[in-house]
Amino acid sequence: MALANQEQDSNKCSISRLVIGAPQGRSGKTTVTLGILRALSRQGYQVQPYKKGPDYIDPSWHSAAAGRLSRNLDPFLMTKEEICRSIALHSCDCQFSIIEGAMGLYDGLDLEGSASTAELAKMTGSPVLLVVDATRITRSTAAIVMGCQHLDPEINIAGVILNKVARSRHEKIARESIEKYCRVPVVGAIPKDALISIPDRHLGLITKGEVDETEDLLEHLADVICEYSNISDIMSLALTAPELKYVPKAEFLSISGYQQKIKNMHTPRIGIIRDAAFSFYYPENLEALESLGAELIPFSALTEEHLPEDLDALYIGGGFPEVFAEQLTGNTTLRQEICTAGEGGLPIYAECGGLMYLGRSIIIGDNKHDMVGLLPLDTKLEKKPQGHGYTIMQGTENNLWFNQKKIRGHEFHNSRVINLDKTKVEFGFTIEKGSGIDGNYDGICYKNVLASYNHIHAIGTPSWAEQMLKLAHQYCEKRWEKREKVAGE
């Protein structure tokens, strides 16, 4: 049976899919999702994982569990058409698609629940598997599930997994109450302590690459799901998803005619710092650059002493530079080369952790760690978040990437900028929503550098990639003109 066949030139496709939601955060959505992904994968199914909302860490675990690159679906950053098209594009060769929600099912930006997991489920017509933390409740689980059913009757609560069940009597009362009063099947009941928790840090779960024996953990989660839930019933719930309606498009990204123009131009080399310190990159951001003809050159700021040769631009994503501050400081040669390149006009786009890295230092407690020193600022790590959530920002006229454009993004940082010399730089954004650097502004513009706490997603902001390529081409042309001039003297 073909579960995900897509007819050519059709605006509908059959994709078996399921949203994993919960009444509240920390109910076990991520561990249940990982267990389901690995269980389906090891049974030979191709399963496409997704994460609702802005998140880099959970998708990295999804990818490891499914053996397939996880994608983000975000109703704030993307339109309904963009979300459905992304699912159609990336799930068309899969048997199942699993979408992990965020926070509580109905938790969104406002009273209407905008950008919530429920809104995403409604946009995509996906049934919901609700994970309910059953700690110290029995019959009341039915009231919780019924509340999720009736708050918005258009949301299809297709099944329930009980988590943290104490003993058989506890499970029996909770299961029978839900099935009697809510008429929803309970497809799993997981004992408390059966699912191992993934350790936390100040920005959420630690990244997949930092946990020893990751495979053993994922296999354990799959074993738990298979032992304490009915994986066949879970698959059946996904099969009830209606055909997905989407708008076909010749190009996935909304790129202008500039793409055709650059085909006969030099292939720009864009460096990407990718290591344990800088790992926050949306796949679509990198794919957008490649779709325009860029050659991406990944390298590590932790282990490689020199910049790759002949770079035309540099992209530094977010991550945890504060955790690896000593190693970053110790790589003196690379820090100096990045500073020299930036002073020489190399286009550099840096988000959050990248901003921290380009400053003079990162201050953690009483310790000060030297960084690149390209930007006249220091960052200080605090115990509580200094910015957290979605953003709406207006690019200033000094912003080379988003000149006077309004963009949507997100931020999540525990550091704050201090000792900023405003006489040497310009701000890149005025803030309509968010915290940024000082509550009013975000983004530091210096020469061809833009460094900010704000993160963007290329599906919702496709012009970002095009501008990166334009700046890279301009820099390349100037660099070759300079070389030719020197050679002619």
Query: Which are the catalytic amino acids?
Result: 352
What one-letter code names the amino acid at 158?
A
Q: Where are the alpha helices (DSSP H) in 229-279?
A: 231-239, 258-261
Which residue is it, tokens 């880099």? 56
Q: Where are the alpha helices (DSSP H) in 257-394?
A: 258-261, 283-291, 325-330, 332-343, 353-358
Distances (CA, A) of 156 to 123, 130, 152: 12, 10, 9
d(CA 51, CA 318): 18
In 3-state terms, what secondary structure has residue 432?
A: strand
Containing H/E element for 47? strand 47-52
Eight-class DSSP state of 209: G
- Radius of gyration (Cα) for the chain, nearest Å? 24
**Cβ(429)–Cβ(252) below 8 Å:** no
Which residues, at least 6 apart from 423, have a Cβ–Cβ distance to it below 8 Å?
none
Q: Where are the alpha helices (DSSP H) in 139-264?
A: 140-151, 168-181, 214-228, 231-239, 258-261
d(CA 25, CA 119): 17
233-237 contacts: CB < 8 A, separation 24 or more? 233/159, 233/185, 233/187, 234/18, 234/36, 234/129, 234/159, 234/187, 234/188, 235/16, 235/40, 235/96, 237/18, 237/127, 237/129, 237/158, 237/159, 237/187
